[in-house]
Amino acid sequence: MAVKIAITGFGGRMGRALAEAVTGSEAAQLSGAIVRPGSSLVGADAGEVAGLGRCGLAIVDRLEDAEFDVLIDFSAPAATLANAAYCAQHGRPIVIGTTGFEAAQKAELRERAAAAPLCLASNFSTGVNLCFNLLETAARVLGDDVDIEIVEAHHRHKVDAPSGTALSMGEVVADTLGRDLQQVAVYGREGQTGARDRDTIGFATVRGGDVVGEHTVMFLADGERVEITHKASSRLSFARGAVRAALWLMGDAHGGDRAPGHYDMRDVLGL
């Protein structure tokens, strides 16, 4: 039997990509499409809104009105926290791709994971999660003998910066080198900044056009540099990963037997 998946933020670009990924999976069924309260899309056919053809599923603006085994949430921090609380209360797994959380909000999500499985990732792309492993290797081999800079680019509509993926990349590198990212991160430079501190990890942000997502981590030494880059050309790469995570949270037999806990995409991929 197909796993019933509901999607929040259904009216957005990512919501439509998720709908395409769910309907394209033989193991999943689109069972809920949720938008913000009062949206003009309420009552519309979810398939038509997603450009997939009429499917008979009406869009709703309350999570309580959706039927689902697993919720996929790519919305905003405040909405995601409320949705995670609902899922924890009802023992439903949730996949979270929302970014821009503060430390206290992340801690709250970890508390919710004690009641129901929760998969939180800054990026659900298989390639990006492979890059996390490559970054660990590069940081371990190159160590403290290089300068590290992270450059990311996204479309003009992205509201948080640096991206959650860029921050995750920075955390992977910092953790491998035994550094605290909050202490060594430098977010942009201007004016007379002085010589670069070797321990810092720099971030640069580009916003414009319709760039889906590009990330490059540079390890710069005298005479050479190593760059690890990921470029996404379609949101479907993220959406398919999120659906894969939703199915994984349901357990091997799709019986809801994945233990409550806080997971990420590398757990899903076995990395």
Write out the catalytic residue numbers: 154, 158
Phi, psi of 153, deg, nearest 5: -135, 135
Return the HEC string of 166-226.
Answer: HHHHHHHHHHHCCCCHHHHEEECCCCCCCCCCCCCEEEEEEECCCCCEEEEEEEEECCEEE
Cα-Cα-Cα-Cα dihedral sign, residues 192, 193, 196, 201: negative
| Contact yes or no for 179/199 (Cβ under 8 A) | yes
Cα-Cα-Cα-Cα dihedral sign, residues 137, 142, 143, 148: negative
Neighbouring C-beta atoms of residue 143, cutoff 10 Å: 11
| Contact yes or no for 33/57 (Cβ under 8 A) | yes
| Long-range contacts of 42-48, Cβ-Cβ distance < 8 Å, separation of 24 or more | 46/10, 46/19, 47/19, 47/23
Neighbouring C-beta atoms of residue 144, cutoff 10 Å: 11
| Contact yes or no for 61/39 (Cβ under 8 A) | yes
Which of 174, 169, 188 has its CA nearest to residue 229?
169
**Tokens at residue 182, please?**
């909050």
What pairs with residue 71 in β-bridges? 6, 94
